Amino acid sequence: MSILGAIVGGLIVGLLARFILPGRQGLSLPITVGIGIVAALLGWWVAGLIGVQSTSGVDWLRWLISVVIAAIGIVIYGSVTKKA
């Protein structure tokens, strides 16, 4: 995964996580991207641990795991900084 790919993937994962969370999170775009990048990397790692195989198409389960991890990260960030 390239740096640009990680940023774009992190943006998508972070925005999807913010979309599924109720209420307003009050996070800046760079924080959302940062949490999304970390969550995407962790999601791909966790998916590999549980045996998700790479496919020639879109790995929907890997993306779902990444979005859930990002949502958890946003909630944790919000509780630590009181911005959730």
pLDDT tens track for 16-52: 998 898 877 888 888 888 998 899 889 888 888 888 7
Note whether residue 72 is domain-resident: yes
Domains identified in the chain, total number: 1
Q: Which domain holds residue 50?
A: 29-84
pLDDT computed for residue 84 by the predictor: 47
Once rounded to an integer, what is the mean pLDDT over residues 55-79? 86
Cα 14–chain centre separation: 5
Task: Please state, in angstroms and rounded to a whole number, the distance separating the CA atoms of residues 81 and 76.
Answer: 9
Q: Is residue 5 part of a domain?
A: no
> Per-residue pLDDT averaged across 43-69, rounded?
83
Question: Beta-carbon neighbour count of residue 57 at 10 Å?
Answer: 6
**Predicted structure pTM score:** 0.83
Q: Is residue 10 part of a domain?
A: no
In a domain, 51, yes or no: yes
Mean pLDDT, rounded, of the chain? 84
Map residue 82 onto helix, strand or coil.
coil
